[in-house]
Amino acid sequence: MDNDCLFCRIVAGEIPATVVHETETTLAFRDIDPKAPVHVLVIPKDHHPDVVTLANDDPAAAAGLLAAAAAVAETEGLLMDGFRLLFNTGGYAGQEVFHVHAHVLGGEPLGPMLAPR
C-alpha cells in the first residue's frame, strides 16, 4: 500500500466508496464524479501507477483486472447496448490518480471517443 495514494486508501477502507464488485485482487466502485449514467472504476488492490506498469510487472493481475471489468459490465447491465472501457495513462490522457484504474462507462450512447478539438 502507498499511504499517499487515494485508491490504496479506498482499498484499505480509510476512504469510503460505493463498492459494486470485489475479488481477492480487485475492487470496483462508483466514480465520485460520474461522466455517464454508469461510471465505475475497477482497480487492482495492489498499487501499480498505470496500466503499463501493471502489464509489465504483473500480467496475471492485469488479466484479473480485465475479468473484473467484464463482470462489472455484465452486472451493470451494459452488455446488450455496449459500453466503453478506458485507461487514462499519463499526462496527455489527463490521468489524475496514479493507481491504475479502468473506467467502465455506459448506460446511454457515449458519443465520439474523443472530444472534438
Closest distance of CB 67 from ligand AMP, Å: 20
Residue, CB closest to ligand AMP: 88
Tracing cell 480487485 back to the chain, one arrives at 26
Q: Is 55 in the site for ligand AMP (CB under 6 A)?
A: no
CA 69 – CA 41 distance, rounded (Å)? 8
Does residue number 32 form part of the binding site for ligand AMP (CB under 6 A)? yes
Contact 99, 6 (CB under 8 A): yes
> What's at 117, amino acid-wise?
R
Binding site for ligand AMP (CB under 6 A): 6, 15, 17, 31-33, 41, 88, 94-97
